Amino acid sequence: MSAHGRQGATIEVQGLTKRFGTVVAIDDLEFTVSPGRVTGFLGPNGAGKTTTLRILLGLVAPSAGTATIGGRRYQELDHPLSQVGALLEATSFHPSRRALDHLRMVAMAAGIDQRRAGAVLDLVGLSDVANRRVAGFSLGMRQRLSLATALLGDPAVLVLDEPSNGLDPAGIAWLREFLRFLANEGRTVLVSSHLLAEMALTLDDVVIISGGTLRAQGPLSALTSRLHSVMRVRTPEPDRLVAVLEGAAIAYRRSDDGAIEIEGIEPEQLGPLLAASQVVLYELVRERSDLESLFLSLTAGAGGDATHLGGRDDRTPGAHWRPASRPRGTT
């Protein structure tokens, strides 16, 4: 890629709605994606990720709302491939066409220097098979060729739909490093996945959707800090426990079965605190101890308001938690 780096544009999705007949695929979706960061666009299969990305890229017309890149719709961009690189599926090649010819064809249509075709093949490690027909490619090789196509115009914005599909663990590790490298150059990187754990290592921000609606968005760190600090405590003297927690300004919630769920503190800190207060405990369990289960809980079911994970767009994080002694992390 260019050594000087490229300043990406902001992706903005506002009030985006898409209906296919009577089916509402996307419902009033709203989020932003910032340059210089790797943003994960996460949700289970069928959540509406691909439809959202296809609207963003001008392939599908929205029923309402807008999706813009640097304030302009994709169709309004002067040289779209030199501004936005997209990877949508690993199957969009003519099987009889050679890999290099596929890239030359795209370069020709987009008015990009033909020599870039060889350069991007090199970049994704496919130089050896440049003159082989795509029909003989593995899914992983096709995925790399898709990525090469996305990079052809040296775009400052990258939109990648499930780029890790078909990649082996080494390929996924390579992809993660590559995305990190691109974001560090200042590019905007939006990458969708139905597997949070696979991408978590490289993500700065997350946008989580389910059933076509936004479930959470913000920095991944806010998500991780939350999931490691949720603990479930059973005690015969809940009122005393609550008093201790309120005294220490620790967020908690009484669950229906009488247990108390505590947020924002590690067991190593909570244990000594409760011992000092001599609160009797029957049980102290750390719940939702991995990203995947929090992801599942965020994306399960429908309805409800989206969770804003804090960070720059800090609107009452974790609104159902109390007390309101914020910011988080003061304990």
Partner 1 sequence: MTRLVRAELFKLRTTPGPWVVLAATLGFTALGIVAAFLVSKGVVITRGGAVRRHLEFVAPTTVNRLRRLIGAGFEGGGVWMAAVIGVLGITGEYRHKVMTTTLLAQPVRWRVLVAKSIASVIWGLGLGIASLVIVAAMGVPLFVSQGGALSALSHQVGAVVPGLLGAFALMALLGVGFGSLLQNQVASVLVVLGVALILEPIFDGLVPAAGRWLPSAAAAAVAGGSLATGTAHAQLLAWWLAVIVLVAWGLVPTVLGFFATFSRDVT
Of 22 and 96, the one with the shorter C-beta distance to partner 1 is 96
Of 57 and 199, the one with the shorter C-beta distance to partner 1 is 57
CB within 8 Å of 19: residues ≥ 6 apart = 25, 63
CB under 8 A: which stretch of 105-113, 115-123, 230-238, 298-306 binds partner 1?
A: 105-113
Which residues sit opposite 216 in a β-bridge? 208, 307
* H/E run at residue 38: strand 38-42
Of 88 and 203, the one with the shorter C-beta distance to partner 1 is 88
CB of 34 to partner 1, least distance (A): 23
In whole angstroms, give the CA distance from residue 148 to residue 138.
15
Token couple for 272: 């000594």
Of 15 and 95, the one with the shorter C-beta distance to partner 1 is 95
CB within 8 Å of 97: residues ≥ 6 apart = 105, 133, 134
Q: Which of 8, 48, 80, 317 binds partner 1 (CB under 8 A)?
A: 80
Of 131 and 278, the one with the shorter C-beta distance to partner 1 is 131
In whole angstroms, give the CA distance from residue 144 to residue 174.
11
The footprint of partner 1 on this chain (CB under 8 A) covers a number of residues equal to 32
23 binds partner 1 (CB under 8 A): no
Sheet with 64-69, side-by-side order of all strands: 23-33, 11-20, 64-69
Q: Which of 46, 71, 72, 92 binds partner 1 (CB under 8 A)?
A: 92
CB under 8 A: which stretch of 73-81, 260-268, 281-289, 307-315 binds partner 1?
A: 73-81
In whole angstroms, give the CA distance from residue 203 to residue 184.
12
Residue type, 330: T
Q: Diameter of the chain by CA atoms?
A: 75
Which residues sit opposite 40 in a β-bridge? 191, 206
CB of 83 to partner 1, least distance (A): 11
220 binds partner 1 (CB under 8 A): no
In whole angstroms, give the CA distance from residue 135 to residue 130.
13
Show the binding pattern over residues 171-210: x = contacts partner 1 (CB under 8 A), - = does not. ----------------------------------------
CB of 87 to partner 1, least distance (A): 10
108 binds partner 1 (CB under 8 A): yes
Q: Which of 36, 44, 58, 70 binds partner 1 (CB under 8 A)?
A: 58
* H/E run at residue 205: strand 205-210
Binding site residues, partner 1, CB under 8 A: 51, 54, 57-61, 74-75, 77, 80-81, 86, 88-89, 91-98, 101, 104-106, 108-111, 149
